[in-house]
Amino acid sequence: MATGEKKPARSRVVLTDISSRAWEHPADKGALVALRKLKGFDVLLKTMSGVFRERAWRLTLLGSAVRVDERQFARLHRLLAEVGTSLDARDLPELYVAADPTLNAQTIGMDRPIIVLSSGLVHHLDDDELRFVIGHELGHAISGHAIYRTLLLRLLGVGGLLNALPGGALGIRMVTVALLEWSRKAELSADRAGLLASQDPTAALRTHMKLASGGTLEELDVTSFLQQGAEYDEGGDVRESLIKLSLLQQQSHPFAVVRATELRRWIDSGAYTAILGGEYPRRDGDDEASVSEAAQEAAASYAVTFERTQDTLGRLVHDLAGWMGSASTWLNDRFRRGSESA
C-alpha cells in the first residue's frame, strides 16, 4: 500500500481517563510529579514565556506554515482526532505542517501547545506511522513537556549572558545538563504515548527505522536494526562509554536506534499490554501522586539500566554503587547497635 493511502479503519482501545503517569518514563515522571506539586510554578513559566514573545511562534506559523483542519491536510486532522480519542485527550493542540524536507516533529508553546510536523515527515510516513508520531507529540502536550522544554530553550539562549557572572556559567551548565537528561527521558515517555495512541508496535518501529534512514525501509531489516540498538546500548569499552557520554551532553533527544530499542524493551516488559487491558493510573489520582515513590521508581530505573549494561564503565558504576550501598547498610547497622548498647 502506497504511503499516505488510507487503510480500512480498525478499532483501538479508548484509554478512558488515563493519566500521563501511565506512559511517563520513571526518570521523567519523577521530575514531573515533583514539579506538579509546586503550585503556580507552571503559571510562572508561562508568564516568562509571554515575556519572551511566545505569541510570535504562533504568528510565524500562521504566516509561513499550513494549519491543519477539515479542509487542509484533512488526513492529518482525522489522525489527530483518532489519537486524541485513544488517549482520551480533553483538549487537542493546533497542528501545523511546515515546509522542511527533514523528518521532524515538535511540540512548542507553554500556554497553548502547538504540534508542528515537517513536510518531509508527512511525505515519507504512512497513516499508521503518522498516527504514532502525532500521538507522540500529543503525549508531550498532555504531560506538560512543552513547558519545561521551553524553559530549557530559554536557558540555552541565555547561557552566553551568564558567562560574565561569577559562577554563572557553571550554574547554568549544571542545570542545562540535568534538563537535557530529563529531555531525553521525556522523549522515551512520548514514544510510549505514541504507541498507546496508535496501538501499532510495528508502525512505531517502522517510524524509528525511517527516522534513522532518512525515510526508506526497502533495504532495512528489523532484526538487524534492533541488534544495532542493543550493541550501542550495551556494548563497548571504557573509551566508548566516555564517548557516548560526550555525545549525549548536547543531545535533547536519544538516537533513533536507541529509542526503538527502548520502546521494544517497554513492550516486552508487559506494561503496554497491561495498559491496554485497563491497568493504568487515572487522572483523578494525579494530585495524590507521591513524590518519594516517583523518586524511588526513577532510582530503580537507573539501577536496572546500569545492571543491564555490558560496557566496562557501566559495570564499574554499577559495582561501585552496589559496594557503597552495602557499606552504608553496614555502617548504619553498626551505629544502630552502638546506640542500643549505650
Three-state secondary-structure class, residue 117: strand
Report the pLDDT value the prediction gives residue 326, as an integer from 0 to 100.
Answer: 45
Q: Where is pLDDT greater, at 272 or 33? A: 272
Report the pLDDT value the prediction gives residue 58, as an integer from 0 to 100.
Answer: 87
Q: Give me the helices (H) in the chain, please.
A: 26-37, 41-51, 55-64, 74-86, 119-124, 127-143, 145-162, 168-198, 201-213, 222-234, 238-248, 256-268, 271-276, 291-308, 312-341
How many alpha carbons lie under 13 Å from residue 173 in its C-beta half-sphere? 7
Residue 161: count other Cβ atoms within 10 Å of its Cβ: 10
- Position 132 in a domain: yes
- Give the list of residues 6+ apart from residue 219 with CB closer than 8 angstroms, or none: none
Q: Which of 11-20, 110-119, 220-229, 242-251 has the lowest mean pLDDT?
A: 242-251
| Mean pLDDT computed over every residue of the chain | 79
Strand partners, 67: 96
- Position 28 in a domain: yes
Residue 177: count other Cβ atoms within 10 Å of its Cβ: 13
Q: How far apart are CA 39 and CA 98, in angstroms?
A: 35
- Position 78 in a domain: yes
Q: Where is pLDDT greater, at 305 or 95? A: 95
Taking 50 as the threshold, does the pLDDT of residue 226 lie above it?
yes
Report the pLDDT averaged over residues 238-243.
68
Q: Write phi, then psi, for 256 (nearest 5 degrees).
A: -60, -40
How does residue 330 score in pLDDT terms, banded at 50, 70 and 90?
Answer: very low
39-64 confidence digits (pLDDT tens): 665 566 666 555 556 778 889 999 99
- Position 5 in a domain: no
120-148 confidence digits (pLDDT tens): 999 999 999 999 999 999 999 998 887 66
pTM of the model: 0.78
- Give the list of residues 6+ apart from residue 81 with CB closer than 8 angstroms, or none: 92
- Position 314 in a domain: no
Q: Where is pLDDT greater, at 278 or 35? A: 278
- Position 117 in a domain: yes
Taking 90 as the threshold, does the pLDDT of residue 316 lie above it?
no
Going by C-alpha positions, the residue among 199, 103, 189, 85 that lies closest to residue 146 is 189
Report the pLDDT value the prediction gives residue 275, as an integer from 0 to 100.
Answer: 98
- Position 145 in a domain: yes
Q: Write phi, then psi, for 237 (nearest 5 degrees).
A: -95, -170
Report the pLDDT value the prediction gives residue 322, as an integer from 0 to 100.
Answer: 47
Domain range holding 121? 23-232+259-292
Task: State the cell numbers at 264.
Answer: 521494544
Domain tally for the chain? 1
Q: Which of 63-72, 84-93, 196-205, 243-252 has the lowest mean pLDDT?
A: 243-252
Task: State the cell numbers at 194.
Answer: 505514541
Taking 60 as the threshold, does the pLDDT of residue 171 lie above it?
no
Strand partners, 167: none
- Position 88 in a domain: yes
